[in-house]
């Protein structure tokens, strides 16, 4: 018998989904989880799940970006390890350029390569990218020598997969392994490649083994391009020379690509590619589509009261991210994620349109998502540039077609 179930979602701050919505007792925020697929192998300990999770009630922040499901929603599927960078990337291998302070294309070793490296005090004190001398129109950029600018701070790596979440740091004193923060029996190791084209970091994949003997491999990665910050006009289109900072003016700056940068890409996320049972060697595999996203979102404003001018820094990012496409189970079950057109609020990303579940090629169920956009105090399709700037993807409904 063919059954259809329709779940309607209110697009305000409150959520009404049948009688299954929950309220966080501490914050008062609405929380809800909609299970789509839960699979477990009886012959091994392999398992995975797919769900939609909703949390709201904590307000909308200016720099928040809606997921590809909608504002407040997240897709629970697969897994990811994400770098929380502190200083330089830990696995960055130095490029010295011409060795001079004026060469801003050079970059130092990250913590992994700076570990136990002798420092030369003759090169001066470590300094960040700075301007000198302090004159109105004669500023220039410089970088400190690589030996003293080498990274002294550990990055944090957060992970989330299969109901597990936590954080770890690299532990170069014990080899290519990590150390978990907190009480856990899991083990993590990583693999390196120092010759990746265009990429200045070297960790290509992580492997985590849990207490059940399941091995999680994170081989697919997302990356971010290192940009050069330059002054620009209010339209944010072209690079401009250093202004004279006249009183009463507002100046804009944002990140631009620099063709002279050597290996400008940094890997900052690793996506779950497979789960293997160590005893039966059965595997669940995950496949992804690569998406390129250019985004300008959020600003920092600084005011110089002495000279009476303001500087607006527009946060710019150019990233390559993974979009989950398929999950394949060893017994013939398959989950396929289908996406719609490019999003109006985030160029390069697509809204999730449906989730198909099949068994040996036969359809078991299909979840169809209907989305729109929040536009200030209403929702609809943004048309003008201003509407696209303030729009946020929102989920209107989920329809479940399935066989019972």
Give a yes or no: residue 182 inside a domain: no
Q: Residue 285's closest CA among 217, 345, 229, 338? A: 217
Average pLDDT, the chain: 86
pLDDT at 117: 62
Give a yes or no: residue 308 inside a domain: no
Q: Extract the tokens encoding 281.
A: 């060697």
85-134 pLDDT, tens digit each = 999 999 999 998 877 777 778 999 999 998 766 555 545 554 544 554 44
The residues, ordered by sequence, that sit 6+ positions from 20 with a Cβ below 8 Å of its Cβ are: 32
Give a yes or no: residue 56 inside a domain: yes
pLDDT at 215 over 80: yes
Q: Extract the tokens encoding 214.
A: 């399941």
Rounded mean pLDDT of 47-58? 86
Give a yes or no: residue 29 inside a domain: yes
Rounded mean pLDDT of 188-200? 96
The residues, ordered by sequence, that sit 6+ positions from 386 with a Cβ below 8 Å of its Cβ are: none
How many structural domains comprise the chain?
A: 1
Whether 132 and 139 have beta carbons less than 8 Å apart is answered as yes
pLDDT at 74: 93
pLDDT at 325: 98
pLDDT at 241 over 90: no
Q: Which residues share a beta bridge with 13?
A: none
Work out whether strand 164-170 and strand 178-180 pair parallel, antiparallel, or are unpaired: antiparallel
pLDDT at 15 over 50: no
pLDDT at 138: 52
pLDDT at 238: 93
Q: Which of 62-71, 130-139, 207-216 shows the lowest mean pLDDT across its residues?
A: 130-139
What pTM, to 2 d.p., does this model score? 0.86
Give a yes or no: residue 379 inside a domain: yes
304-343 pLDDT, tens digit each = 999 999 999 999 999 999 999 999 999 999 999 999 989 9
pLDDT at 119: 54
Give a yes or no: residue 139 inside a domain: no
Sign of the torsion formed by the C-alpha atoms of 138, 139, 145 and 146: negative
Q: Which of 2-11, 30-39, 80-89, 387-396 shows the lowest mean pLDDT across its residues?
A: 2-11
Give a yes or no: residue 364 inside a domain: yes
Residue range of the domain that includes 350: 18-76+329-403
Q: Extract the tokens encoding 298.
A: 């959020």
The DSSP line for 205-239 is EEEEE-TTSEEEEEEEEEEEE--EEEEE-TT--SE
C-alpha distances (whole Å) from 193 to each of 91, 288, 293, 344 are 10, 21, 25, 37
Give a yes or no: residue 62 inside a domain: yes
C-alpha distances (whole Å) from 320 to each of 108, 218, 222, 307, 380 are 23, 16, 5, 40, 28
Q: How many CB atoms lie within 10 A of CB 258?
A: 16
């Amino acid at each position: 018998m063919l059954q259809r179930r329709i779940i309607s979602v209110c697009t305000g701050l409150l959520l009404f989904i049948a009688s299954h919505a929950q309220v966080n007792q501490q914050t008062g925020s609405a929380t809800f989880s909609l299970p789509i697929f839960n699979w477990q192998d009886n012959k091994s300990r392999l398992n995975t799940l797919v769900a939609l999770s909703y949390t709201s009630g904590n307000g909308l922040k200016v720099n928040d970006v809606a997921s590809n499901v909608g504002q407040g929603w997240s897709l629970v599927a697969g897994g990811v390890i994400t770098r929380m960078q502190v200083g330089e990337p830990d696995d960055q291998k130095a490029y010295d350029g011409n060795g001079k302070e004026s060469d801003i294309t050079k970059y130092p070793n990250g913590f992994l390569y700076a570990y136990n490296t002798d420092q030369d005090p003759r090169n001066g004190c470590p300094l960040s990218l700075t301007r000198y001398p302090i004159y109105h129109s004669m500023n220039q950029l410089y970088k400190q020598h690589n030996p003293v600018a080498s990274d002294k701070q550990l990055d944090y790596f957060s992970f989330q997969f299969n109901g597990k979440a936590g954080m770890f740091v690299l532990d170069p004193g014990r080899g290519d392994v990590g150390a978990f923060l907190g009480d856990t029996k899991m083990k993590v190791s990583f693999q390196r490649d120092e010759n990746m084209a265009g990429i200045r970091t070297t960790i290509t994949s992580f492997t985590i083994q849990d207490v059940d003997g399941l091995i999680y491999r994170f081989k697919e990665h997302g990356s971010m391009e290192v940009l050069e910050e330059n002054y620009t006009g209010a339209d944010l289109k072209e690079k401009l020379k250093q202004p004279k900072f006249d009183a009463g003016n507002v100046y804009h700056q944002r990140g631009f690509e620099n063709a002279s940068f050597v290996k400008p890409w940094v890997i900052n996320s690793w996506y779950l590619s497979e789960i293997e049972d160590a005893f039966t060697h059965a595997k669940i595999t995950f496949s992804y589509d690569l998406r390129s996203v250019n985004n300008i979102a959020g600003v920092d404003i600084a005011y110089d009261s002495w000279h009476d001018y303001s500087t607006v820094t527009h946060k710019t990012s150019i990233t390559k991210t993974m979009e989950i496409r398929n999950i394949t189970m060893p017994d013939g079950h398959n989950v396929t994620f289908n996406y719609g057109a490019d999003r109006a609020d985030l160029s390069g990303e697509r809204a999730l349109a449906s989730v198909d579940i099949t068994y040996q090629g036969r359809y078991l169920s299909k979840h169809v998502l209907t989305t729109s956009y929040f536009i200030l105090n209403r929702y609809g399709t943004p048309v003008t540039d201003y509407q696209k700037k303030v729009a946020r993807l929102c989920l209107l409904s989920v329809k479940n077609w399935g066989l019972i």
